[in-house]
Amino acid sequence: MDYREFFSRFKHLSSKQGIGGRIKVHPEDFIVWEEPLPSIFEGRKYAIFLLKKRNWETMAVIKEIAKRAGIDYREIGFAGTKDRHAVTYQYISVPARAKEKVEAVDIKDVELSFVSYGRFIKLGHLLGNRFRIIVRDVAENAFEMTREIFGELHATGGFPNYFGYQRFGERRVVNHIVGKLLLTGDFEGAARLFLGAYDGSMAGDEARRNFWESGDVEKALEEFPRFLRYERTLLHRYKTTGSWKRAFLSLPLPVMRIFIHAYQSYLFNLYLSRRIEEGLPLNEPLVGDVVVQVKGGIPYRDRTYRVTETNLEFVRRKIAENRAMISGPVFGFAMRRARGVPGRLEEEILEGEGISLEVFKRLPKPLSEPGGRRELLLRPTGLAYGYIPGVGMCFRFFLPKGTYATAVLREIMKDH
């Protein structure tokens, strides 16, 4: 199952026909500019560089820069990962002592420009991202179709804020299933899926298929390509411990979190889709909803309050003024739960999955997930679009951190 088939289970908010088309035909069709927090430029311990990359994964290029500059890759800070099949601009921090070495680094399709001194950049140290995206091979009347879709979504309050396919895997759409198996304690099942799932078009698929059919760890260690380093780490660790749980816990924490976060994202997408399917509004508060505060167009997900009969009109005004947004659940053991009809829907999602919030506490503490809330709607700012003859539609917009341009495009293109 590829990501298009996977995403077809999540409902569109717009009922209008999509423009179709293709994205990322060329890296230059998908350009991303990071908007950092101003505070990253405070201090003198680190040198801040603007990193421009083309067709590079963020972690891969960070490690390559570190290798060539002779520093540990963990000394390089960045605020978020960016698309591989794209041209992206983002800020990185390196120790001030390494400034000259980093300036001398020469990597194909990578440019590094010193900006200023500042602090170590951590994940989340950004306001959001600006995008310029070209969609090729669109319908002939794509401009008019886009205008109609935007008109419909303006009336419903914005775009559905789905987690994008990047969370789940573009071809091996299994991250969320591995996450659920880990949370429910089925480490052997998680290992079988992580190591053995294949789609038939990726390097290493034959080795994966052989493991799926035989479960032979020794043979897998002989056959798995070297570039599947996390898979090989898992196999080696199982060989020495005989425990799939210990093997998984030997993986780097960020890798383990990918699986847990993918499952949380899947549950959120299910909730959002069910809400659309049942005709429950996304921009009109219901008693029992939990709303997040919004300031300057940026949602503050740690600032929430519940809608009651008493404050219902107050919340309506706040939402109309774009100072609050209705949220959905990012399930976790300390999540603020909705009540009323929204709360019933949350319960049904958990019951349908056969889990409780307690499962998010079962893993070792660094992996336990408190959960939280996430706004149901996505409101791009600075949105502009136009038709380029012989090319397709061009879109420009800004999105706050933690949201996905592909969620915006999905509603316009209706390609999955």
Q: Is 83 a catalytic residue?
A: yes
The dihedral of CA 19, 25, 28, 30: what is its sign?
positive
- 3-class SS at 263? helix
Rounded to 5°, angle at Cα 180 from 174 and 185: 125
For residue 73, what is the DSSP state? G
What secondary structure does DSSP assign to 215-258, as a single string? --HHHHHHHS-TT-HHHHHHHHHHHHHS-HHHHHHTS-HHHHHH
**Cβ neighbours of residue 305 under 8 Å, at least 6 residues apart?**
290, 291, 293, 311
Which entry of 2, 83, 109, 199 is annotated as an active-site residue? 83
Vertex 188: Cα angle to 185 and 193 (nearest 5): 105
**Which structure tokens are listed for 350?**
């958990």
Alpha-carbon distances, residue 343 vs 183, 311, 331 (angstroms): 22, 18, 12
Q: How many CB atoms lie within 10 A of CB 152?
A: 14
Amino acid at 110: V
Q: Rounded distance, CA 231 to CA 221, Å?
A: 9
Which residues are tagged catalytic? 83
